[in-house]
Amino acid sequence: MKKILFSIMTLVLVIGLVGAGAFAYFSDTETSTGNSFTAGTLDLKVDNADDPIVAKITVAYMKPGDTGSVEISVKNDGSIDGVADLHIKNLVNYENDQNEPEAAVDSTTGDEQGELGGNLLVTITYDGGTPVVAGQTLDSLNCQNLTLGDLLKSETKTITISWELPDATGNAVQSDSAVFNIEFSLNQKV
C-alpha cells in the first residue's frame, strides 16, 4: 500500500512539473535608469537685487500740487511662473514740528498723528497696464496686499508708483511725514 501511495505521489509530482513547463509564456524585461524629480524655483529680484532692497521712495519738501513717480523693476529669476504682489505696510504718519499755520487748523500734536498719509494720493501701475490702484490715499493702502499680475520665469516687468498731493490740501499736513515699508512677493502661479 505504501508503494502504491508513493507511486501515485511521484506521478502527480511529475505531471505537475510537466504541466507547469507546458504553460510557460515568453517574457522580456527592460530597465529605465536615471529617473529623477527636481523642484522648480521662484526667485524675485527687485531692481536686480535681493534683500536688502535698495529701491526706496524719498520725497522731501512736498507742497500742494506736487506730483511724482518712481519705477521699480521686478524679475522672476526662477524657473517657474509666478504672480507678483505688493504690500504697503507699517505706515506711520508723523506730526513732526507744528508751526503757527498748521496749529491754527490742526490741534493734534502726538508723534503718530500726522495727516500726510490721509491726503497723499497714490496710483500703482504694473507693466504699463491698467492701474492696480488709482488715486487712493496712502492711509487706505496700508496693510493691503495688492496682486499686480503674472511674472513668468525669466521675465522682468516694471511697477510704477505715482503720487500727488492735491491742490486742495490745507495747512494740516505742513511738516508731516509718512514712513512705510513696501513688501514685494512672488507666489507660484496656479
Instruction: Identify the three-state secondary structure at position 139.
Output: helix
1 pLDDT higher than 80: no
Bridge partners, 136 (sequence order): 122
Query: Which tens digit of pLDDT belongs to each residue from 6-39?
Result: 777 777 766 766 555 556 689 999 999 999 999 9
pLDDT at 52: 72
Q: What value does the mean pLDDT take over residues 158-184? A: 94
pLDDT at 103: 76
Q: Are 157 and 90 contacting, i.e. CB atoms less than 8 angstroms apart?
A: no
42 pLDDT higher than 80: yes
Nearest to 100 by CA among 35, 171, 50, 155: 171
Q: State how far Cα 54 lies from the chain centre.
A: 18
pLDDT at 19: 59
In angstroms, rounded to a whole number, what is the distance separating the alpha carbons of residues 28 and 165?
79
DSSP state of 104: H
In angstroms, rounded to a whole number, what is the distance separating the alpha carbons of residues 33 and 13?
41
Could you state, in order of their start, the residue ranges of all structural domains in the chain?
A: 44-188
In angstroms, rounded to a whole number, what is the distance separating the alpha carbons of residues 187 and 53?
18
List the Cα angle 12/16/21 in 5-degree steps: 155
For the chain, the straight-line distance linking the first and the last C-alpha, in angstroms and rounded, comes to 79
CATH of domain 44-188: 2.60.40
Q: What pTM was estimated for this model as a whole?
A: 0.79
Q: Are 106 and 171 contacting, i.e. CB atoms less than 8 angstroms apart?
A: yes
Query: Which tens digit of pLDDT belongs to each residue from 143-154?
Result: 999 999 999 999
